[in-house]
Amino acid sequence: MGPCWQDDRVGNLMLLDSASMYFRAFYGIKETMRAPDGTPVHAVRGFLDMITRLIRSRHPAALVACLDVSWRPAFRVAAIESYKAHRANSDGSEQVPDDLTVQIPIILEVLAAAGVATAGAAGYEADDVIGTLAARADQPVEVVTGDRDLFQLVDDAHQVSVDYIGRGVANLEVIDEAALTKKYQIPGRSYAAFAALRGDPSDGLPGVPGIGEKTAAALVRVFGSVEAMLTAIDAGHGGFPVGTRAKLVAARPYLDKSMTVVQVATDAPVPLVSGSLPARPADPARTAELDARWDLGSSLAKLLAALAAQPG
């Protein structure tokens, strides 16, 4: 029997998919919040508000904001060249609205001054940082994201769940293995194989032509992994849903490389970080300076109050 979790789990390590959250804040809040110099700060304030709400509702013992040091890692592009290619500028950087680009450094400065831990790894995405920290953890882990790719980390045995914010932090959905099975009709820890077969146009992953969610789920229920499917094909085994074997054979070049791209790394070179929640800002003077400069108002004040209210 898997663990029974409640909404007020004390002692958890909370890992934030930071880019997922600040992109959501950027697009979900009206661009009326600006600093005295005119710089937009709605994504900054929205991101801080999200963290505050998570701390107050979920009561994590530790929290780490995980970062994309490389948004399109070379090892994934080498495997499948189309990976996120449609979102890349000519210089290889990510296409990010200018009004969001200017806010990301502000977010990082505020987190540092407040004492909220961040983590990244050269050559890896935030997903890999999250996967690595989750694998290292000796406590329950909850991953906060609006990206379904991270469903693959759900693992009841190791007490890893996802707080899915696809409909906003206020409508957070806790995803465990039972929730995955109910949602996709697949074994709880088979999401990566399911995603590889189905594909993801938003990430430039073609998937297997002719195989949608229902067929992908059927294949995963039978074989469990892409590797097992390919092994069965090579051995001449049966068990494939009608019409799927030929589609998998035709897509073999993609399938041979797909898991390199889809699977989250659990061994990225992420520096050690405790994530302990600070009862007071790491740099009070700098925090006050940033607050005044960017006019963060109630957003920063509420975050600091939420941090101070946590049990020591």
Q: Among 7-21, 107-121, 184-198, 244-258, name the one with the lowest average pLDDT.
A: 7-21
- Please give the Cα distance from 195 to 262 (Å, whole number): 7
Q: What is the pLDDT of residues 297-308, one digit of tens each?
A: 899 999 999 999
Per-residue confidence (pLDDT) for residue 291, from 0 to 100: 97
Q: How confident is the model at residue 104 (pLDDT cuts 50, 70, 90)?
A: very high
Q: How far apart are CA 111 and CA 92, in angstroms?
A: 27
pLDDT per position as a tens digit, 276-285: 999 999 999 9
Do the beta carbons of residue 258 and residue 95 sit within 8 Å?
no
List pLDDT tens digits, range 208-217: 999 999 999 9
- Cα 269 to Cα 96: distance, rounded to the nearest angstrom: 26
For the chain, give the mean pLDDT. 94
Least confident piece of the model among 30-34, 60-64, 222-226, 300-304: 30-34
Nearest C-alpha neighbor of 164 from the set 2, 20, 12, 10: 20
Output phi, psi for 128, to 5 deg.
-70, -35
32 by Cβ neighbours in 10 Å (0-12 / 13-18 / 19+) ranks as: exposed
Q: What is the DSSP letter of 147?
A: -
In this structure, the number of other CB atoms found within 10 A of the CB of residue 123 comes to 13
What is the structure's pLDDT at 294? Answer: 97
Q: What is 13-185+265-308's CATH number?
A: 3.40.50.1010
User: What pLDDT is recorded for position 154?
Assistant: 97
d(C-alpha 145, C-alpha 126), whole Å: 11
Domain positions in the chain are 13-185+265-308, 191-262
pLDDT average, residue stretch 44-48: 98
% the chain with pLDDT above 70: 96
| pLDDT score at 144 | 98
What pLDDT band is residue 165 in, cutting at 50, 70 and 90?
very high
Tokens of 48: 């801080």
What angle separates helix 177-184 from helix 191-198, to the nearest 10 degrees? 30
Does position 5 have pLDDT exceeding 50, yes or no? no
Mean local confidence (pLDDT), 258-267 = 97
Q: Are 120 and 270 in contact (CB under 8 A)?
A: yes
Token pair for residue 214? Answer: 């229902």
Residue range 140-146: mean pLDDT, rounded? 98
pLDDT of residue 246: 96
Sign of CA dihedral 229, 233, 239, 243: positive
pLDDT surpassing 50 at residue 130: yes
pLDDT of residue 312: 60
Confidence grade of residue 311 (pLDDT, cut at 50, 70, 90): confident
pLDDT higher than 50, residue 97: yes
Residue 84 contacts by C-beta under 8 Å, 6 or more apart in sequence?
71, 72, 77, 94, 203, 204
Q: Quote the pLDDT of residue 11.
A: 87
Alpha helices per DSSP H over the chain: 18-28, 42-58, 74-79, 98-101, 104-114, 126-136, 177-184, 191-198, 213-223, 226-235, 244-250, 252-262, 284-294, 297-308
- For 191-262, CATH gives 1.10.150.20
pLDDT at 1 over 50: no
pLDDT at 9 over 90: no
Residues above pLDDT 90, as percent of the chain: 91
